[in-house]
Each structure stands twice: as structure tokens, then as C-alpha cells.
Amino acid sequence: MSEKIRVRFAPSPTGKVHIGNIRAAIYNWLYARHTGGKFLLRVEDTDLERSTPEAIEVLLECMKWLGLDYDEDPFYQTRNLKRHMECVEKLIASGHAYKVERTSREGKTGIVTMFRMPKEGVIEFDDIVKGRMAKKAEDIQDFAIVRSDGSPIFHIANVVDDIDQGVTHIIRGDDHVENTFKHIEIFKALGAPIPKYAHLSMIVNQQGKPYSKRDGAAFVGEFRDQGFLPDALFNYLLLLGWNPGDDREVLSKSEMVELFDLAKVHVTAAKFDIKKLQWMNGEYIKRMPRAEFTRELKERTVAAGMAIPEGFDVSYLVDQLQIRTKFLSDIPAAVKCFFSDDFEMDAKAVEKRLAKEGVKDLLLDLVERFSAVEAWDAVTLEGVVKELSQGNGMGPWVHPIRVACSGRGEGIGLFEMLQLLGRERTLERLRKAAQTLCP
RNA sequence: GGCCCCAUCGUCUAUCGGCUAGGACACAAGCUUUUCAUGCUUGGUAGAGGAGUUCGACUCUCCUUGGGGCUGCCA
């Protein structure tokens, strides 16, 4: 590759980063890393209302969270205003643009600068993902590039910035294909080389409409808050429109970089499937280094206002919990029964497992039997229940114990849980449940 | 309305003319000696419709239908 590849991610900061947008960033990043090119960031901050320092901070945070490191300093569109206007002057001087009085949709009348599209011929380009694209020039109207208040419009700012940043490949959303025909003419009129284009399909909802916040979490921050891992989100978004050509799905960053091929990106829109993302998240949690999961467990426990007592076997809990965890944010609820006596009793579980005839006696009987065991460990305790069940299934004992001791119908292995709880607390909870929750 | 793009299981997809159409998620059943999970096994469900090209079409061409995008002094 003789030409040095330069791609860019050019979002306008609005305080939230949409997954469709960040997927474009991911594809840009991967393409740059795969080809050894540069991944540039351009902040299109011309909407001064929304492009606050906070909004920009959110954007940078999201990129950092996902590991989308960029080369060179961020390029701020507002700082290139002078160049935009210089280019507009050039276009006017060369006859490619003209001023005219117009009335906007809002009814404001003023002088705007229009770009003059050719009136005949065909504008065409080879899109790396969509293939040959062509459109008759006559089908595209002249369009405004400077507002009546003198500020440059997206089309001119975007193109001039791409020229100034030396962008060679523009990888962006599908919704820009029509703009591309316009932008190509601007590049030509300015005497600049025309970059290569790759248009990415959109992420859509179950109805096939563009995926929006109405369809669920739509912004990167929401996924983070829900406990999704950045690498899982990254991996899932990548797979939404690209695959390595074999059956591999969970890929490391280096595999992604090595295998990514822009030409194999799909043309069709992909429906967002939260279920598969959840599965992917579980896969990533399972593969998480143990030390990291342990750290997360400790941090999240403390952050939820609980303390881990001295001598508590965290390692054993990690053994039990890591493979079962789908969301790191589920950790506090999953560990609460170990670090607090003030855990919620799931009403449905109580109804189903405790509020039944006979359960009270069963629990009290267990208290007695458990009191008698010498060694308080999972194997011994399981032995006790196994003996009681006489090979007919431990369900009748196991479920009430679980609910009585943890308040929930699901969790880590029951006897492992009792071992972690310790004799005193287990007996106490069984007694309490028998007395207060059973008929 | 005009212009552009798209079309394989419910979903993400493999297939670059030979297919008994493969994998993953989800779902169902079973196993892991009878808990919650994990893991494993098994199962069902797909090429929008119609012409054409070809020995042969999911793969190529055309039409129809359906879906999406654009058509701003938004980006």
C-alpha cells in the first residue's frame, strides 16, 4: 500500500453517542489498524447549542471506554471556520457557487450561498461496500453551503475538513450516500483528490426502522450503565454487518484487526438483537481474567454499600459466580445475601417455595439436621439433603432453603452458598423463614 | 411523487453456479446421579414471487412485491 491511509470518525457531540455512530467509529478504527493507516477524530462541533464541553467529554469518554484510540490531536470543526469560508470564496470565484435570496422552511428570508451542481452527466463512484454507485447530475439540486447568517453548512465544512485532514477513505453511515454525490462535486471544484468511500448500513429495530432510543438502549453510555463490557459491545457491533468468513464470533482485538476487511462488510441493514449481545457479554465475563472479575466483584460490592467481612472466602465466591454472571451490574444483588441480612425477599419465590403447607416443618427439621453436622461445607450439607431425599430429587428441600437464605430463586450452587454463609447465618435464616414466611 | 439502495431460519450470518442450504443467538427436549447456572447432546424453522440464462441457480439478468435511505439556511 503506497498511499498512506487516513480515515476519520467525525461525530457531532450531542451528549450521547449512538450505537450506529460508534459502529462507524469501530469500522474506521479497524480499517486504520488493519492497514497501518491513521485513525483521526474530528469533532463536528458547529452546533454550539449542543456541542458543549460536557458533550465533547462524553464523546471522548465513550471512545476511551471502547478502546478507540485515535492518532493525532482531535480536529475541531469550529476552528477551521476561516478555511471553510476561504473555500467558499474560491468556489464563488470559479463559478461553482453563487449567492441567492431564499426563504427557508421556517420562513426566514436571506442571502445564502448555493453550490452549483452540474446539469448533465453522471456522477459515479465505487463504494467499497456498496459497489458502483451512479446518479444523474440532473437528479440533484443545487444546495446551500452557507447560511444567511454567514455560517458554513455541513456539506462544505465536512469536505474542506476532509481535505485539510488528508482523509483518504470516508467510512460512514448509509444515510450519507446521497450527500456523497454532492461532496464529490465539491472535491472536484476545489481541485482536491476524491477520497474512497465506504457506506455502512444502518442498525435497525425489529420493524426495520432505524434503531432509536425507543427500541431500548441506543447510546453507548446506557450499555455501560447496564453492565455491558466494552469489548463485548465492540465485538457484537462489529459482527452486525461483518464476519471473519468462518464460524468464529468471539474475537480478540488482534484477531479483529488482522481479519477485518472493509470489502466484506454487508450492504444490508442489520437488526439489533439485545439477546445476542447479552450472550456475548456473558462470554466475555467468563473469559475475563479471574483477578479482574474479583476486583469488579469487590468494587461493586463496596460501591453498593456493603462490606466484605474479614476472612470471607472471596475466591470461592468468584469460582461460583463468574460463570453465572451475565452482567457485572448484577453482582451486588447476587452477593447481597452474603454481606447483608437486609436482602429483599422475592415475593414470587416466597409464594412458590415457602408459603406452602409443610415447608415450615421441613425447614425446622433441616435446622436440626444442619446443627448436627460437624464439618460445615458444601459436600457435607449436600449429603444431608441427599439422604433426606432418598434419591427422589432434592427439589422439595433445595428450593425452600435457597429462598429462605438468599431471598431469590436463582443464584450460585445452593450448598456452596450455604458454605459461604456459614452455619450460624444459615440456621438463623432457616428459622426466621419458617417462623415468619411459612403458613 | 422523484432518485438511490437492499432482500437466506424469528435474529446475526456462511455459500463467491453443484445444497442432503452450514454456524451462532433465541426456543424446545435430554444428559451432567435428581438445586441455580455452566458445559455437552439432540430437534424444529430459511433462499419474497415470477420470467430468463445454464447440463445445473440461493448464487447471474430482468420484472413484480416488500423494506430502507435521500429529496433542509440538520448533520
The answer to whether A20 and A202 are in contact (CB under 8 A) is yes
How high is the mean pLDDT of chain A? 91
User: Which of A19-33, A154-168, A324-338, A347-361 has the least mean pLDDT?
Assistant: A347-361
What per-residue confidence (pLDDT) applies to A434?
84
Residue A200, CB-side half-sphere exposure with 13 Å CA sphere: 30
Nearest nt to the CA of A45 via C1' is B75
Q: Which three cell numbers stand for residue A119?
A: 446539469
The answer to whether A39 and A70 are in contact (CB under 8 A) is yes
Question: For residues A310 and A41, which has the higher predicted lDDT (pLDDT)?
Answer: A41
Q: Which three cell numbers stand for residue A405?
A: 437464605
**Listed residue (A424, A387, A393, A418) closest to A403, CA to CA:** A418
For chain A, what percent of residues have pLDDT higher than 90?
65
Question: For residues A319 and A107, which has the higher predicted lDDT (pLDDT)?
Answer: A319
pLDDT of residue A427 exceeding 60: yes
- For residue A146, the SS3 value is strand
CA A75 to chain centre: 24
Rg (CA), chain A: 30
Q: Is A50 within 7 A of strand B by CB distance?
A: no
* A236 CA vs B25 C1’ separation (Å): 11
Question: How many whole angstroms separate alpha carbon A252 and alpha carbon A244?
Answer: 12
What per-residue confidence (pLDDT) applies to A1?
46
Question: How many whole angstroms separate alpha carbon A334 and alpha carbon A338?
Answer: 9
What per-residue confidence (pLDDT) applies to A107?
78
pLDDT of residue A372 exceeding 80: yes
pLDDT of residue A26 exceeding 50: yes
Residues A224-253: pLDDT tens digits?
A: 988 899 999 999 999 999 999 888 999 999
What per-residue confidence (pLDDT) applies to A3?
66
The answer to whether A370 and A423 are in contact (CB under 8 A) is yes
Q: At residue A188, what is the residue type? A: K
DSSP codes joined into one string, A336-356: HHHH-S-PPPPHHHHHHHTSS
| Interface residues 118-157 of A with strand B (CB < 7 Å) | 130-131, 133-136, 139, 141, 143-144, 147-149, 153-155
Q: What would the mean pLDDT of A81-103 be, rounded to a whole number?
A: 95
The answer to whether A27 and A200 are in contact (CB under 8 A) is yes
The answer to whether A74 and A41 are in contact (CB under 8 A) is yes
Question: How many whole angstroms separate alpha carbon A430 and alpha carbon A366?
Answer: 8
The answer to whether A378 and A415 are in contact (CB under 8 A) is yes
User: Which of A110-124, A176-190, A377-391 has the least mean pLDDT?
Assistant: A377-391
Which residues neighbour A275 within 8 Å (Cβ) at sequence distance 6 or greater?
A: none
**Please, what sign has the CA dihedral across residues A278, A283, A284, A286?**
positive
| Interface residues 236-265 of A with strand B (CB < 7 Å) | 239-241, 243, 245, 247, 249, 264
Domains of chain A: 6-70+203-283 (3.40.50.620), 76-200 (3.40.50.620), 288-339 (1.10.8), 347-436 (1.10.10.350)
Question: For residues A114 and A49, which has the higher predicted lDDT (pLDDT)?
Answer: A114
pLDDT of residue A384 exceeding 60: yes
Q: Is A24 within 7 A of strand B by CB distance?
A: no
Give burial (CB, 10 Å; 0-12/13-18/19+) of A95: exposed
Question: For residues A410 and A160, which has the higher predicted lDDT (pLDDT)?
Answer: A160
Question: Locate cell 457485572: which residue?
Answer: A328
Q: Which three cell numbers stand for residue A111?
A: 442571502
Q: Which three cell numbers stand for residue A117?
A: 451542481
Residues A146-157: pLDDT tens digits?
A: 999 999 999 999
Strand B nucleotides within 7 Å of a protein CB: 2-8, 10-15, 22-26, 34-39, 67-75
pLDDT of residue A196 exceeding 70: yes
Question: How many whole angstroms separate alpha carbon A415 and alpha carbon A401?
Answer: 10
**Please, what sign has the CA dihedral across residues A44, A50, A51, A57?**
negative
What per-residue confidence (pLDDT) applies to A191?
95
Q: Are strands A38-43 and A6-9 parallel, antiparallel or unpaired?
A: parallel
* Local structure of residue A308 (DSSP, 8 states): P
Q: Which amino acid residue lies closest to nucleotide B33, measuring CA to C1'?
A: A391
Q: In which band, very low, low, confident or very high, does the pLDDT at A411 lie, cut at 50, 70 and 90?
A: confident
What per-residue confidence (pLDDT) applies to A2?
43
Residue spans of alpha helices (H) in A229-289 = 230-239, 253-259, 274-287
* Local structure of residue A357 (DSSP, 8 states): T
Which residues neighbour A124 within 8 Å (Cβ) at sequence distance 6 or greater?
A: A132, A133, A134, A135
pTM of the predicted protein model: 0.91
pLDDT of residue A104 exceeding 90: no
* A5 CA vs B39 C1’ separation (Å): 45
Complex ipTM value: 0.92
Residue A263 CA: distances (Å) to CA of A27, A126, A244, A311 = 11, 11, 12, 56
* A388 CA vs B22 C1’ separation (Å): 48
Q: In which band, very low, low, confident or very high, does the pLDDT at A352 lie, cut at 50, 70 and 90?
A: confident
Residues A287-326: pLDDT tens digits?
A: 999 999 999 999 999 999 999 988 899 999 998 999 889 8
Residues A53-84: pLDDT tens digits?
A: 999 999 999 999 999 999 999 999 999 999 99
Question: How many whole angstroms separate alpha carbon A22 and alpha carbon A237?
Answer: 9
Q: What would the mean pLDDT of A271-282 be, rounded to a whole number?
A: 93
Question: How many whole angstroms separate alpha carbon A185 and alpha carbon A123?
Answer: 8
Q: At residue A185, what is the residue type? A: E
